[in-house]
Structure 1
Amino acid sequence: MQNNELFVILNPHAAKGKAKKQEDMIRTLLSAGGREVVLLHTEQGNGAERIAYQAALDGCKVIIAAGGDGTVNEVANGILKAVTLQGVQAPILGVIPIGRGNDFAWGMQIPKPVNQACSTILAGRARLIDAGVTYGGKYPEGRFFVNGQGVGFEPLVNFLASDFKHVSGTLSYVLALIRILIHYPLPYDVELTLDEQVLNLKTQQLSICNGRRMGSAFLMGPDALFDDGYFDVVYANAPVPIKRMVPLAVTFLSGKQVKQKEFSVVRVKKLKMKSRDFPMPVHVDGEEISKGCMEFSTELLQAILPVLY
């Protein structure tokens, strides 16, 4: 790999297929100043994770995820697998946010307009951030994430929002929220271990926040920082009755749920969660870990990934 080379992984299906239309603009903008641009599409059986992993092994210095939060998650997984399993020096992650939610880019102050995102990449300013890895569900060997992990009510909304074929962005999450409220989920009876503290509680919602925002508009961890060495864990500390859920859901738009009596916030480096009754839906960065698993564990990886911002 050349030192002036920018390696771009474009998900042409991001934003309901609109991302592919940005390809020529991305090539042109990133080529400014004599930079060489290598651009590959994600394809069935050759996803962003595999491409990023090989690029990291090949010595690529800058790997750019062009897509939504799912594309960023896959590229980050490829990079972090190369770092943790093969001991390579971490390439710098760049992001061109042309997806549905773009929560990670928002938290990293990466502008959404393609020209501005490309200018951010060319400026070359990097920030070393923490990441997380979770074990459980479809990934007993571990799945990395950079923005956040959700359990319970929030992933139910997320999974449903991603199923909408003609609606995206914040509207898709609002519509999904309404549909989930019609079939209001029961609380999970769980054992929650926060670092060394063990809690027994009934809860419908838990968020493990490295970044502040999830679901395109909801500040699940309003005070979370990407580089402070801790997760902000925000969880319902008791069952929330349906009459309170809508008013509480509105507070997530501004992050004020952390001031409500129904929610608690702790800062930890690791946690475990076990359900005694119902399987728990779990996602990381909007990607499915499980539609329903009985337990998982999550750990923080401090100062492991450089990101252009």
Structure 2
Amino acid sequence: MSFQPQRVRVLVNPRSGPGWSFDRLQRVFARHWDRAGMELTYQFTQSAADGVAKARRAAEQGVEALIVVGGDGTVSTVGAALLGTATALGVVPVGSGNGFARHFEIPLTPARAVAALAQAEPALIDVGVVNERPFLVTCSMAWDAAIVRSFERSPLRGIIPYVFAGAYELLGYVPQPIAAELDSGETLRFDDALIFTIANLTQYGGGAVIAPQARPDDGQLELVVARRQDVPQLVANVARLFNGTIERVPGLVFRRFRSLRVQRAQAAAIQVDGELATAPAEVTVRVLPRALRVLVPAGATAAAG
């Protein structure tokens, strides 16, 4: 292991996910991370804004590795605060989707994740930006964004509640016309898009692989579109969403790009790394190449590009 940071901070979101204990996790950190000469400290996030402030302070103080214990929403906000810094972001996944961790093959069991990160190496990855808000995993602008609204109201987490949220939103969802102008000069028009997702990494979360060819360090993002007429094909081929072969489903649209301008008929909420955000009718998306340093476990380097 060549990466041996001297200053490591663990930033914990105590509201993320059930089934884990900070006391037990602290003992695992002590076993795998706490060595002679290392400064290992712990902090808790009180809110998203507090997490951002603490991440920025960590970078300013020369913390070499900031390990986030949380879900994709916490990972996203903290990661955004570390853009362009020398601080490496590590992730111990305790959320519901954990798309970031799944892409980089970080174990989904918190204790195993801590151990794996102790043998990790830093890598630079791209970051997407939607209307000047960074995202690490995905953002969505159609029914795939509306699902988050119902999912946020559910007291349960996991893939099953997410499926029920999707079914509920599908019943009343009315697609609006979308025009997407890519930096290549191509303009795509859709009257009935149900899925309109931009992916920086392969994963939706929960094991769903929405963009199998997405690479985190190639300087590009991936657009994935499915229309209402594609629903029967999607249902019949739902297994392909989980085995990485969704590109074989007929009718789906895939495009790679560096910048994208989306014009919708009206303003509507979008999904950004699992969080709902307000957005105007016109949305711009671009990539920041190799803008964030992250910790990738040994043996999972293929997942980084």
Scaled to the shorter chain, the TM-score interval is 0.7 to 0.9
Is the Cα contact below 8 Å between 2:207 and 2:242 reproduced in 1? yes
Distance 1:45 1:249, change over 3 A: closer
Tell me which residue corresponds to 2:134.
144
SS of structure 1 residue aligned to 2:141: strand
Measure, in 2, the Cα distance between the counterparts of 1:274 and 1:149.
15
Given that 1:133 and 1:298 are in contact with CA atoms closer than 8 Å, whether structure 2 keeps it comes out as yes
Residue in 2 aligned with 1:212?
Answer: 202
Partner of 2:268: 280
Q: When the two structures are superposed, what TM-score results if normalisation uses the length of structure 1?
A: 0.85
What is the one-letter code of the residue matched to 1:5? Answer: R
**Aligned position for 1:103:** 99
Query: Quick check: 2:233–2:250 contact (8 Å CA) kept in 1?
Result: no
Q: Percent identity?
A: 25
> What's the counterpart of residue 262 of structure 1?
251
Counterparts in 2 of 1:1-309, with a 5 A limit? 4-16=6-18, 18=20, 20=22, 22-34=24-36, 35-44=38-47, 46-80=49-83, 83=84, 89-135=85-131, 142-165=132-155, 167-183=156-172, 185-195=173-183, 196-202=185-191, 203-236=193-226, 238-240=227-229, 246-247=235-236, 251-276=240-265, 278-290=266-278, 293-309=280-296
* Cα deviation, residue 251, structure 1: 4.0
Provide the secondary structure at the position in 1 that maps to 2:53: helix
Q: Give distance in 2, aligned partners of 1:97 and 1:45.
A: 17
Name the aligned partner's letter for residue 226 of structure 1: P
With the length of structure 2 as denominator, give the TM-score of the two structures. 0.86
Measure, in 1, the Cα distance between the counterparts of 2:180 and 2:49: 37
Give the unaligned 5+ runs of structure 1: 84-88, 136-141
Q: Which amino acid in structure 2 is aligned with residue 110 of structure 1?
A: I
SS in structure 2 at match of 1:158: helix
Q: 1-side partners of 2:24 and 2:94: how far apart?
A: 8
Name the SS for the 1:252 alignment partner: helix
Check the 8 A contact 1:12/1:19 in 2, yes or no. Answer: no
**Cα 1:70–1:21, aligned 2, differ >3 Å: closer, same or farther?**
farther
Distance 1:19 1:189, change over 3 A: farther
Q: Give CA deviations for 1:224-250 in whole Å, capped at 9, x if unaligned.
A: 1111221121112x4437655643655
Structure 2: 5+ residue runs without aligned partners?
297-305
Q: Name the CA shift for 1:213/1:19 in 2 (closer, same or farther; >3 Å).
A: farther
8 Å Cα contact 2:10-2:41 kept in structure 1: yes
Paired letter, 2:263: K
Task: Write the letter of the residue equivalent to 2:250.
Answer: K
Q: What SS does the corresponding residue of 1:293 show, helix, strand or coil?
A: coil
Contact 1:211–1:226 under 8 Å retained in 2: yes
Shift of 1:66: 0.7
Aligned equivalents of 2:137, 2:96: Cα separation in 1: 15
Counterpart residue identity of residue 181, structure 1:
L
* Cα offsets for 1:160-184 (capped at 9, x unmatched): 223211x21112211212212332x
Cα distance between partner residues in 2 of 1:95 and 1:192 = 33
d(CA) in 2 for partners of 1:146 and 1:36?
28
Q: How many residues align?
A: 290
User: In the alignment, is the contact (CA less than 8 A) between 2:25 and 2:110 conserved in 1?
Assistant: no
